[in-house]
Amino acid sequence: MRTIDATSAKNRFGELIEACRAGPVAVRRHGRVVAYVVAPHEFGTGGLELQLGAALRAAGARYATLFGSVSRGSAGPESDVDIAVSLGRPMTTAQRVDLIGRLAEVAGRAVDLIDLETAGGLVFARAMQGRELLCDAAGTRQRLIARLLRAEEDRRVSAIAARGARAGLFR
């Protein structure tokens, strides 16, 4: 980790910003580290995740994950926040619109909201691989994972049957 003094950081701010792209920079004043400067991709989303989790809990969510570019730390300035949510039952349109508004206000970005109770296929699988924001009970997580595993097994069986049909095994 590179270390610079506070006066240099103030007088050569551009160089400080460039240096933090290579890794964290410690800023010293009177011999003590008073600050660290890190690039946005190294900062993480811990604060955002806590705020989103609190907003989701207040809205009655039972389980939620953050997935996509924000969770990976590779979001650009125009990226949206991908959040998957279970309310324990399918969301109504009004609930969906309200929740998107609340979460966008917290995140300061557009929100792409996935309802885990109705989602399927690849988007459901990707959402379940995301970073957990909220889990009211282990049973909720287990129910969703079991649904994911059943869907994956169904997909595998269908693929095997399709290969068999193409090979002419079912005549």
DSSP letter at 82? E
Percentage of the residues of the chain whose pLDDT score is greater than 70 = 94
**Helices and strands counted in the chain (H then E):** 8, 7
Task: Give the mean pLDDT of 25-41.
Answer: 81
- The confidence score (pLDDT) of residue 67 equals 94
Helix (H) or strand (E) holding 55, with range, is helix 46-58
Residues 76-112: tens digit of each pLDDT? 888 999 999 999 999 999 999 999 999 999 999 999 9
Residue 44 has pLDDT above 60, yes or no: no
Tally the C-alpha atoms within 13 A of residue 153's C-alpha that lie toward its C-beta: 6
Q: Is 88 part of a structural domain of the chain?
A: yes
Same domain, 73 and 138: yes
CB 111 within 8 A of CB 163: no
Domain that residue 6 falls in: 2-42
Helix H or strand E encompassing 94: helix 93-107
- Is there a domain that residue 166 lies in? no
pTM higher than 0.85, yes or no?
A: no
